[in-house]
Amino acid sequence: MKQAVSTKIRDFISGGGFLFAMCSAAETLDISLAADGNDIVDTPFDGDPPVADPSGALNYARSLAFGGFTVFADSSHEYSDIDVPEAGAGTIFSLFEFSAQVDAIPCLLNQNHNREIRGFSGETSSFRKSLVKKDVTILAENNDGVSVRYLMGTLGKGVFCYYGGHTPEENFGDYQANAAGFRLILNNVLFPSAKTRRRKT
């Protein structure tokens, strides 16, 4: 079921759609796409055993943002080594700057009043930098040198954006209308309505 849904999502993006996925939605979507018809889920979850070597059965050409990752088929909490659990709350991540003339989409997605933002946790807190595909654009990285928080890429005619962590300003009472972590979510909500201005020739 997950693979059928993830394939529909991939086709949607390729056809010109936009996907914003956050936390474990990003990680598990890529895992499901890479599984490519192979059963990589352990018996307690679907009633039958996985293939003998789940990670060896992965087709990374089908995943959107990550390649070379290892899945944890027998875990109920961690899904793969894409996630860097310790890169959550208590960390700081920095947004990269992009030129609106050269990199319009990354520039729009990274608009914020802060360049450094307080980190937060989730089922998938951050993404392992060494597993990010070369054609994917890193929008923000953590201060640990090994993980990234925010990235985007293209597939066919469409665009996808992944954001690690679950809830910015996650402690009760921290919610603010101008919280920098939430601003990135708002950018993604507004992105599909952005239109390219026709230039005079």
The pLDDT value recorded for residue 195 is 64
pTM above 0.85, yes or no: yes
Provide block-wise average pLDDT over 10 residues at a time, the chain (201 residues).
Answer: 88 97 96 89 75 88 97 81 87 94 94 92 94 98 95 97 86 66 93 71 59
The pLDDT, as a whole number, for residue 24 is: 94
The pLDDT value recorded for residue 155 is 98
Contact predicate 152/51, CB 8 Å: no
Distance between CA atoms of 128 and 132, rounded to whole angstroms?
Answer: 7
Give me Rg for the CA atoms of the chain. Answer: 17
- DSSP 8-state class, residue 38: -
Q: Which amino acid is present at 32?
A: S
